[in-house]
Amino acid sequence: MKLQKTIKAKIFALTKTKEAILQEEYDNFQAVLNGFDAPLYSATKQQAQRLLRKMKRKPKQKTYPMILRRDVFNVRETKNKLTKFWVKIPVHHVRGGIKVPISLPHNQEKLLSFSIREGKLIRKGDNWSLHLTVMKEAQTYSESPSTVLAVDLGERYIATSVVIAKGKITSPRFYGKEVRGIRRHYSWLRKRLGERKLLSVIKRVGHAEQRKVNAVLHKISRDIVNEAKETNAKIVLGELKGIRNGAKGRRMNRIVSNMPYYKLTQMIIYKAQWKRIQVVKVSERYTSKTCHCCGSRGKRPFQGLFVCSTCGIEYNADVNGAINIAKRSLGYMPSDGAVLDTALNSGEMKPC
């Protein structure tokens, strides 16, 4: 399996001459997308025509990133005082292209050692950036770790995790309580703006909401994957099928429908694969309704509490669900919710 990541490098300290050359090439790329025969570096022109064929329709009235083919540009590390990295960008009327300085987050510098597949030149306002796509081969897993980090997806906290090592339950963690608040705030804001018919503002606040939620999801997925790395654990995720059907009531149904469960699981899987951490999926059926101690069906008097009428324990409902997900991955809890004394191969695990 091949894995990709995107490095977002900032282009800075451009001279007026270089910026004018870049702007001309960028504008000509947009012109080719709109059907004009504008002068453009040959490989870049081919990329524009290829993108145009993929669209299958006339481009919308907006600018698109200028795509650079991997064999016509390169990034070099130097000892230059201005910046550590420079990139050569090909243009149609300058032999050898132009060299521009770039800066990127320190923790992403090591990604440049992987194979660079593509570059996208982007302009927003007065700022230029270069998005570099790097690729590496994913490693196969020789053995499955005995330690499990299970993740339960919920309404109050978007994710709750526990670690089970040598039969001991440790490190319950709660993530993403703020996501629900962000969604609720912007839902209220859109409603008020809709009453005033401010459609352009609604679109703008929607982008702001997405950025804030994505920032939270990236942090959650990064923390979960880092913990799995530190504890040498495999990550177990519950299947998302039917998660939105379990919400009762109009208000709770709206909350659950607005929670970005799928995006979070994809982020966890992607980051885990990049760090060679095994991820499996198991059925979530009955995990929130079953007591992790005795296996009996219990009740939830309110959202955050699980009560077992058989053994009498009271437990955080999300942690109880995460423990059951871990048990199912280990074969101690089949899909019907019963608990067994010995492990079994239930066929519930699905490698990602």
Q: What is the pLDDT of residues 46-58, one digit of tens each?
A: 999 999 888 876 6
- Please write the tens of the pLDDT for every residue from 282-298: 988 888 889 988 888 88
Q: In sequence order, what are the beta bridge partners of 290?
A: 297
Distance separating the N- and C-terminal Cα atoms of the chain = 11
Structural contact between residues 257 and 244, judged by C-beta atoms closer than 8 angstroms: yes
pLDDT in tens, 86-138: 999 999 999 999 999 999 998 899 999 999 999 999 999 899 999 999 998 87
| pLDDT of 338 higher than 50 | no
At residue 1, what is the residue type? M
Confidence of residue 256 (pLDDT cuts 50, 70, 90): low
Longest pairwise C-alpha distance within the chain: 80
Kindly indicate the confidence band of residue 240, based on its pLDDT and cuts at 50, 70 and 90: confident
Residues of the chain with pLDDT > 90: what percent?
49
Measured CA to CA, the distance from residue 153 to residue 161 in angstroms comes to 9
For residue 140, pLDDT over 50 is answered with yes
Query: Pairing relation of β-strands 115-124 and 127-137?
Result: antiparallel
